[in-house]
Amino acid sequence: MRRYLTLVFLVFLAIPAGMTFTGCYRNPAGNYCNGLGYGLKDTDVYAIDLEPKTTGVSLAFGQTRQINAPTATTCKGVTASVSSYAYATTNNQILDITPSGNMCAGTWNRNSGGGIPDYTICNPPNPLPKSNGLPYETAYISVSANSVTSNPVEVYVHAPVSSVALATSGVVAGAQQCYSQGASAQLDSEACYASGGKQYEFCAPSTVTNYSCPGGLAPGVTSVPSCSNSIGALTYAVSTSAIATLNSATNVITAAQPGTTAITASIAGSGSSAGYFSTCPPKSISVTLNGATSGTVTQGITQNLQTTVLDTNGQPITGLTLDYESTNQLDINVGGSGSVVPSFPGEASVYAICQPSTCNPSPINQVGLFGTGLSISSNAVAITTPGSASSRAWFSSPGLSQYFVPYDLVGNQLGSTIRLPYVPNSMVMDQLGTTLYFGSSHALMTFNLASDAMTGTPNTSVPGVVLAVAPNGSQVLINDQVRRVLYIYNSSGSVAANFTGMASSAAWTPDSKTLYIADSVSAGAGHSDTLYVFNANTGFTSYDLTASGGATNLALTVPSVGAYLSGNPTVAHTWCPSGTASNYSNIVFYPQGDSVPDKTDTLAATADGQHMLGAAIAGGGVEISDISVSIPFTPSNGKATGGTTNLINLPKACPQSGQTMEPLIIDHPYPTTQQAVSGINATAVNQIVTSRASNLAFLTYTGSTPGAKLPYYMTSSNGAPGTVNYVAFTGGSAVTAPLTGAFSLDNTLFFVSTAGDNLIHFINTTTLQDTQQINPKLPACTPGTDPDCLITSPSTGSVPTTAIAVKPRATT
Examine the pLDDT at 127 and tell me if it is beyond 50.
yes
Examine the pLDDT at 683 and tell me if it is beyond 80.
yes
Whether the domain at 47-158 and the domain at 282-385 fall into the same CATH topology: yes
Residue among 661, 743, 731, 744 nearest 700 (CA): 743
Under DSSP, is residue 20 helix (H, G, I), strand (E, B) or coil?
A: helix
Examine the pLDDT at 182 and tell me if it is beyond 90.
yes
Q: What are phi and psi of 602, to 5 degrees?
A: -145, 155
Q: What is the pLDDT of residues 307-328, one digit of tens each?
A: 999 999 999 999 999 999 998 8
Q: What is the pLDDT of residues 328-386, one digit of tens each?
A: 888 899 988 899 989 888 889 999 999 999 999 999 999 999 999 999 999 999 999 99
User: What's the confidence (pLDDT) of residue 397?
Assistant: 98
User: What's the confidence (pLDDT) of residue 642?
Assistant: 32
Per-residue pLDDT, averaged over 264-274, amounts to: 84
pTM: 0.86
Q: Which residues pair with 699 in a beta bridge?
A: 688
Examine the pLDDT at 129 and tell me if it is beyond 80.
yes
CATH 2.60.120.580 fits 282-385, yes or no: no
Q: 332 and 343 in contact (C-beta within 8 Å)? A: yes
Residue among 174, 164, 170, 173 nearest 203 (CA): 164
Q: What is the pLDDT of residues 293-305, one digit of tens each?
A: 999 999 989 999 9
At 41, which amino acid appears? Answer: K
Examine the pLDDT at 596 and tell me if it is beyond 80.
yes
DSSP symbol at 11: H
Examine the pLDDT at 707 and tell me if it is beyond 50.
yes
Domain ranges of the chain: 47-158, 161-279, 282-385
The rounded percent of the chain whose pLDDT value lies above 70 is 93
Cβ neighbours, 10 Å, residue 778:
24
> Which band of pLDDT confidence, cut at 50, 70 and 90, is reported for residue 536?
confident
Which one of 428-432, 588-592, 615-619, 807-811 scores highest in mean pLDDT?
A: 588-592
Q: What are phi and psi of 457, to 5 degrees?
A: -100, 155
List Cα–Cα distances, 653 to 354, 376, 597, 659, 748, in angstroms. Answer: 10, 5, 27, 15, 37
Examine the pLDDT at 537 and tell me if it is beyond 60.
yes
> Which band of pLDDT confidence, cut at 50, 70 and 90, is reported for residue 29?
low
Residues 6+ apart with CB under 8 A from 658: none
> Which band of pLDDT confidence, cut at 50, 70 and 90, is reported for residue 609?
very high
Bridge pairing between strands 153-158 and 57-60: parallel
User: What's the confidence (pLDDT) of residue 251?
Assistant: 92
DSSP symbol at 305: P
Residues belonging to the chain: 812
Residues 6+ apart with CB under 8 A from 414: 405, 406, 407, 774, 775, 776
Q: How far apart are CA 391 and CA 807, in angstroms?
A: 6
Q: How far apart are CA 121 and CA 100, in angstroms?
A: 15
User: What's the confidence (pLDDT) of residue 176?
Assistant: 63
Examine the pLDDT at 126 and tell me if it is beyond 70.
yes
DSSP symbol at 6: H
User: What's the confidence (pLDDT) of residue 18?
Assistant: 43
Q: How far apart are CA 309 and CA 319, in angstroms?
A: 10
User: What's the confidence (pLDDT) of residue 812?
Assistant: 53
Q: How far apart are CA 762 and CA 360, in angstroms?
A: 46
Examine the pLDDT at 11 and tell me if it is beyond 60.
no
- Spell out a b/e string for 408-429, using b for 16 or more CB atoms within 10 Å of the CB, else e: ebeeeebeebbebebbbbbbbb
Q: How far apart are CA 180 and CA 280, in angstroms?
A: 5
User: What's the confidence (pLDDT) of residue 177?
Assistant: 86
Q: How far apart are CA 477 and CA 439, in angstroms?
A: 10
User: What's the confidence (pLDDT) of residue 4?
Assistant: 52
User: What's the confidence (pLDDT) of residue 19?
Assistant: 44
Residue 420, H or E segment: none
> Which band of pLDDT confidence, cut at 50, 70 and 90, is reported for residue 273?
confident
Q: How far apart are CA 800 and CA 399, in angstroms?
A: 11
List Cα–Cα distances, 554 to 408, 504, 614, in angstroms. Answer: 31, 9, 10
Q: How far apart are CA 501 and CA 516, in angstroms?
A: 13
Examine the pLDDT at 542 and tell me if it is beyond 80.
yes
Examine the pLDDT at 23 and tell me if it is beyond 90.
no
User: What's the confidence (pLDDT) of residue 170?
Assistant: 41
Torsion angle defined by CA atoms of residues 756, 760, 765 and 771, in that order, rounded to the nearest 10 degrees: -90
CATH class given for the domain over 47-158: mainly beta
Q: What is the DSSP string of 107-160?
A: EE--S--TTPPTTS-EEPPSSPP-BTTBSEEEEEEEEEETTEE---EEEEEEPP
Residue 528 burial (10 A CB sphere; 0-12, 13-18, 19+): middle
Q: How many CA atoms lie within 13 A of 534 on its CB side?
A: 20
CATH class given for the domain over 161-279: mainly beta
Q: 563 and 664 in contact (C-beta within 8 Å)? A: no
Residues 6+ apart with CB under 8 A from 561: 375, 377, 574, 575, 576, 631, 651, 664
Examine the pLDDT at 645 and tell me if it is beyond 50.
no
Q: What is the pLDDT of residues 402-452, one digit of tens each?
A: 999 999 988 889 999 999 999 999 999 998 899 999 999 999 999 999 999
User: What's the confidence (pLDDT) of residue 795?
Assistant: 79
Q: 177 and 370 in contact (C-beta within 8 Å)? A: yes
> Which band of pLDDT confidence, cut at 50, 70 and 90, is reported for residue 605?
very high
The rounded percent of the chain whose pLDDT value lies above 90 is 81
Residue 693 burial (10 A CB sphere; 0-12, 13-18, 19+): buried
Q: How far apart are CA 159 and CA 165, in angstroms?
A: 17
Residues 6+ apart with CB under 8 A from 78: none
Per-residue pLDDT, averaged over 528-535, amounts to: 97
User: What's the confidence (pLDDT) of residue 522?
Assistant: 95
> Which band of pLDDT confidence, cut at 50, 70 and 90, is reported for residue 216?
very high
Q: What is the DSSP string of 36-54?
A: SSSSSBTTS--EEE-S-TT
Q: What are phi and psi of 290, to 5 degrees?
A: 55, 40
Q: What is the mean pLDDT of the chain?
A: 91
DSSP symbol at 34: T
List Cα–Cα distances, 720 to 611, 623, 626, 675, 715, in angstroms. Answer: 12, 17, 10, 12, 8
Residue 569 burial (10 A CB sphere; 0-12, 13-18, 19+): middle
Under DSSP, is residue 394 helix (H, G, I), strand (E, B) or coil?
A: strand
Beta strands in 424-581 (DSSP E): 426-429, 435-439, 445-448, 453-454, 465-469, 475-480, 485-490, 495-500, 505-508, 514-518, 530-535, 539-544, 554-556, 562-565, 570-574, 579-580
User: What's the confidence (pLDDT) of residue 26?
Assistant: 53
User: What's the confidence (pLDDT) of residue 37?
Assistant: 85
Q: What is the pLDDT of residues 45-63, one digit of tens each?
A: 999 999 999 999 999 999 9
Q: How far apart are CA 377 and CA 368, in angstroms?
A: 16
